[in-house]
């Protein structure tokens, strides 16, 4: 229908659009659609008292005077103009893309590429959005070259196992050494135990510890992802960049790593040396360090009532009348070694 209308208009040259469609029996809706399509293709140009240019129409300028008259453009001319317009738009898009690339390249060099920061320089960014934190983990996974070390005091929680395992797989395939320390109390949780097993099968070095102080991810001595508040994981994370700061956290990780037990080599998770359970030994260490009951409960993942019961049992076993005395006697007996 649009082609028939164009042929009718071309036979008239510049004429009234309404007169040209009168003999075609088009509905008002069909007439409006055909007119819009012909204008968009550049095959007709609305005209007023002064003939409108195609550039004026492209810029959004309307006719100087609203009339029904249109002028017909040859198909070859319309095609050339359409191609020229599309080339102009493409050049604009390419310019925008080049500008965006330059900005992203600058950010990548500053933000994630290892070795770009001066040895003494430290940059810190606070991340409060969970999706942003996950994206940072993905970004680090793409640029890490040597070592990835992490501490995990809690359960899987909001972590997506398949996503984490896929990151591990990519890093290991790139020759990265991946180490992770988890809380031993989760080894008896079927879902978590299966996760440990799958990580170990991939080649991740997994160790378990009675006490893991905080969430932490360290990459290539260049990047550290840490909690804003170790006692409130929903508070967000801190991304620190620069070896001057990251090396300090790496020393903490190495201590936790050497005091933990390799996954698969641990004995009964309930029994420790000298007749103490692992839970009792961990509680005793935290008690001796002056930690309050509430924090001991959070670290062990148990209730305050359970902590009170465990500490009471320890005091009875040690023959101590106060918690301070219990810590002193435990130290003398070598129970904290």
Instruction: Answer for the pair 188, 218: CB distance below 8 angstroms, yes or no.
Output: no
Length of the chain counted residue by residue: 337
**Cβ-based neighbours of 117, under 8 Å, separated by 6 or more:** 123, 222, 241, 242, 243
Instruction: Answer for the pair 143, 113: CB distance below 8 angstroms, yes or no.
Output: yes
Handedness of CA 269, 204, 301, 186 (dihedral sign): negative
CA dist 155 and 192 (Å) reads 7
Rounded to whole angstroms, what are the CA distances from 254 to 155, 174, 258, 296, 326? Answer: 21, 23, 6, 22, 29
Instruction: Answer for the pair 241, 123: CB distance below 8 angstroms, yes or no.
Output: yes
- The pLDDT tens digits of the residues spanning 48-80 come to 555 455 545 555 555 444 566 777 777 778 788
* SS3 state at 117: coil
- The pLDDT tens digits of the residues spanning 157-173 come to 556 788 889 989 988 99
Averaged pLDDT for residues 181-187? 83
Q: How confident is the model at residue 272 (pLDDT cuts 50, 70, 90)?
A: very low
pTM listed for this prediction: 0.49
CA dist 204 and 161 (Å) reads 14
**Cβ-based neighbours of 160, under 8 Å, separated by 6 or more:** none
CA dist 323 and 337 (Å) reads 18
| Per-residue confidence (pLDDT) for residue 181, from 0 to 100 | 92
| Per-residue confidence (pLDDT) for residue 13, from 0 to 100 | 62
> Residue 124 above 80 pLDDT?
yes
């Amino acid at each position: 229908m649009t082609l028939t209308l164009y042929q009718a208009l071309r036979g008239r040259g510049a004429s009234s659009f309404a007169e040209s469609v009168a003999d075609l029996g088009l509905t008002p809706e069909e007439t409006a659609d055909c007119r819009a399509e012909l204008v968009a293709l550049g095959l007709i140009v609305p005209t007023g008292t002064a003939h409108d240019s195609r550039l004026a129409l492209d810029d959004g300028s309307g006719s100087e005077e609203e009339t029904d008259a249109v002028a017909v453009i040859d198909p070859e001319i319309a095609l050339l103009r359409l191609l020229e317009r599309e080339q102009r738009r493409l050049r604009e898009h390419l310019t925008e893309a080049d500008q965006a690339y330059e900005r992203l390249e600058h950010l990548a060099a500053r933000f994630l590429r290892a070795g770009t920061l001066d040895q003494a320089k430290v940059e810190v960014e606070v991340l409060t959005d969970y999706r942003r934190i996950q994206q940072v983990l993905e970004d680090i996974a793409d640029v890490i070259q040597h070592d990835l070390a992490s501490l995990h005091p809690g359960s899987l929680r909001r972590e997506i196992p398949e996503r984490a395992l896929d990151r591990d797989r990519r890093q290991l395939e790139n020759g990265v050494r991946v180490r992770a320390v988890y809380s031993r109390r989760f080894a008896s949780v079927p879902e978590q135990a299966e996760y440990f097993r799958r990580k170990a099968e991939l080649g991740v070095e997994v160790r378990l510890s009675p006490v893991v102080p905080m969430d932490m991810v360290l990459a290539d001595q260049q990047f550290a992802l840490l909690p804003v508040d170790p006692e409130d994981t929903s508070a967000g994370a801190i991304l620190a960049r620069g070896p001057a700061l990251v090396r300090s956290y790496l020393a903490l990780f190495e201590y936790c790593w050497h005091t933990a037990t390799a996954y698969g080599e641990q004995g009964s998770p309930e029994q420790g040396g000298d007749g103490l359970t692992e839970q009792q030994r961990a509680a005793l260490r935290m008690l001796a360090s002056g930690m309050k009951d509430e924090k001991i409960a959070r670290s062990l993942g148990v209730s305050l009532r359970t902590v009170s019961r465990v500490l009471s049992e320890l005091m009875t076993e040690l023959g101590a009348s106060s918690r301070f005395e219990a810590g002193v006697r435990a130290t003398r007996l070598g129970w904290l070694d």
